[in-house]
Structure 1
Amino acid sequence: MDRLTAAKVFVAIVERGSMIAAADSLNMSRAMVSRYLAEMEHWAAARLLHRTTRKLGLTGAGEKTLLRCRELLALTEDMRVETATDDAELSGLLRLSCSQSLAQVALGVAMAEFLQRYPKVAVDLQISNRTVNLVEERIDLALRITSTLDPNLIARSLTRCESILCAAPAYLVMRGIPRQPGDLSIHNCLTYTYFGKSLWHFSQQQEKFSIPVSGNLSANESQALLSAALQGVGITLQPRYAVADYIAKGQLVMLLPEYSPQEMGIYGIYTSRRQMPPALRAMIDFLHQWFAHSSYWRAITQ
């Protein structure tokens, strides 16, 4: 059976919530939908869905397969629209949402390059760390940094986001340097509301560590924690792109370099692949290429 069609059927089942709804949306019989699902589970060598009388739920293997299927469908959509948009003069308004740190450090530079390439496109950049409702807030594309992407979201992976544990020299003189992850439990750790509020995760080779942390400052904006760390308040866990320059200048010191903080990804979240405006498709493709090849981005992340 056609694996591309099987991927489309599997994604439809998950997004529509049932095989009947998926069959209706694809103009396909329920028996054929069941066959494609069975073939997908055969190819994956795992059960992909928990089936109950009320609803369907993804297994762990199903979540991984869903992400791969969406990436496959996104690639085929890229191929379909490429020739249609290459020679078109794109225009229109795009509303983007992203965090303050990513906007300040990277998106300003990326948007300048995008608008030079597509001067008739306008971009309205909404800066917020909260999870936005794309439909209610009329957001075309949300850039999200996370380690646990909701499998029900329509997303394209843009790049990795490594984190660095660091503190100002003044803090380390006063409180000492942690030598292993467990030492963080006795330090003043500045925690981020939306990620790692009470547990920081590290790995060393195959060994993983989950360390309880606490401190006298938490915030829903990572830039506030960075500013406090620069003043010697405590230890912060920050994206590499946000602190690389401060570390190079000696204003912050990288801690526990032999341990790797939990890696996250930067994703572009959008509402639908169907009838996507050419300007939005161009933006997603541009950001994917920009994060992969921009010398500016490489300089602040390597």
Structure 2
Amino acid sequence: MDRVTAATVFNRICELGSLSAAARALDISRPMVSRYLDEMEKWAGARLLHRSSRRLTITPAGEKILEKSRVLARLAEEIAEQGAQREVQGTLRVACAHSTATHILGPMIPAFLARYPALRIELEINNQSVSLIGERIDLAVRITNDPEPGTIARRLGECASVVCASPGYLQQHGAPQTPQELTQHNCLHYSRFAGQNWQFKDRNGEVVNTAIRGNFSAGISSVLCDAAIAGCGLAMVPEMEARAAIGSGKLQLVMSDFTPKTLGIYGLYLSRELQPAALRLFLAAVQQQLADDSLLATGKTA
């Protein structure tokens, strides 16, 4: 097996904490991830991870190998990029929603274009679904658990949500401790969702659905964040959207015992076989951006 790929797989397992998560991130099967991990352990001549039904822990030997495998993966990427820079050109049309452009694609595109200067990217920002064929879109990046049919949907990462409100609102109305208490609050909601129902998981993994109501809805999460900061009510928004306001104290998290439903972040395109180099590299860059952002959000380091 390809040892460079095995090193890349090992790196991603360590970053994400599970073989299943690494399989999803790399778009390969779970058994293939296990085979690459076995290859790394044979190559190293030592057990690199302790595996149990609940968690993975890296061994002392694994810590040493991880340092080396990261260097190997970076060198392989640099060598591949030297060849890719000569072939990546033309125009890549990418469609996404406003929050995706602001928090995911916008921050990574300058570095990507610097790496591939012959490439042109056209970013179409639209909160509505687009026709990939009709609007000549090469890639749509969507936050959803129901990717649009008729396309290839590659899962690139996950979008965690939070429920938050301004300190002033919570001082006046109190902070809900359970989803059931949300019925006593003004809930600012996303207008594109059919029905106003917020879903959570409790500490035991049980799903809790709660019908909510409120006097304001919007199709853009940044507008809901601004309304929450202004004291209008509670909002459920992507964590990446609320992160800065939470860090500055303008918003506070509520209901720490309940986790809002997580959404997938997908790259949608039309053909797996006729995939241009620019699209393949851009998908990989988005996936890496999301992995890095996830590590930042959880306070981990790569």
When normalised by structure 1's length, the TM-score is 0.69
Q: Please name the residue that 1:229 is paired with.
A: 228
The CA deviation at 1:83 is: 10
Amino acid at match of 1:179: Q
Q: Please name the residue that 2:242 is paired with.
A: 243
The CA deviation at 1:170 is: 1.2
Q: Percent identity?
A: 37
CA contact (8 A) 1:85 1:278 kept: no
Q: Which runs of 5+ in 2 are unaligned?
A: 1-22, 33-79
CA distance in 2, matches of 1:97, 1:215: 30
CA contact (8 A) 2:104 2:286 kept: no
Where does 1:158-197 land on structure 2 (aligned, <5 Å)? 158-195=156-193, 197=195
CA contact (8 A) 2:85 2:116 kept: no
Q: Please name the residue that 1:252 is paired with.
A: 251
- Helix, strand or coil for the counterpart of 1:103? helix
- Helix, strand or coil for the counterpart of 1:156? strand
Q: Which runs of 5+ in 1 are unaligned?
A: 1-66, 76-81
Q: Please name the residue that 2:295 is paired with.
A: 298
| 1:161-205 alpha-carbon deviations (Å, 9 max, x no partner) | 110100011111221111111001121101102237410000112
- Helix, strand or coil for the counterpart of 2:91? strand
The CA deviation at 1:267 is: 0.7
CA contact (8 A) 1:97 1:141 kept: yes
From the superposition, tell whether residues 274 and 185 of structure 1 become closer, same or farther in structure 2 (CA, over 3 Å): same
- Helix, strand or coil for the counterpart of 1:251? coil
* Counterpart check, 1:153 vs 2:156: no
The CA deviation at 1:149 is: 3.0
| 1:238-275 alpha-carbon deviations (Å, 9 max, x no partner) | 11111112111110000101101001111110111132
The CA deviation at 1:134 is: 1.1
| 1:55-91 alpha-carbon deviations (Å, 9 max, x no partner) | xxxxxxxxxxxx98x9459x9xxxxxx7996463311
Q: Please name the residue that 1:220 is paired with.
A: 219
Q: Please name the residue that 1:283 is paired with.
A: 282
From the superposition, tell whether residues 111 and 95 of structure 1 become closer, same or farther in structure 2 (CA, over 3 Å): same
CA distance in 2, matches of 1:127, 1:150: 17
1:107 paired residue among 83, 105, 108: 105
Where does 1:63-78 land on structure 2 (aligned, <5 Å)? 71-72=27-28
- Helix, strand or coil for the counterpart of 2:243? helix
Question: RMSD of the alignment, in Å?
Answer: 2.6
- Helix, strand or coil for the counterpart of 1:88? helix
CA contact (8 A) 2:142 2:265 kept: yes
CA distance in 1, matches of 2:172, 2:195: 24
- Helix, strand or coil for the counterpart of 1:131? coil
Amino acid at match of 2:185: H
The CA deviation at 1:106 is: 2.5
Q: Please name the residue that 1:32 is paired with.
A: none
CA distance in 1, matches of 2:181, 2:239: 22
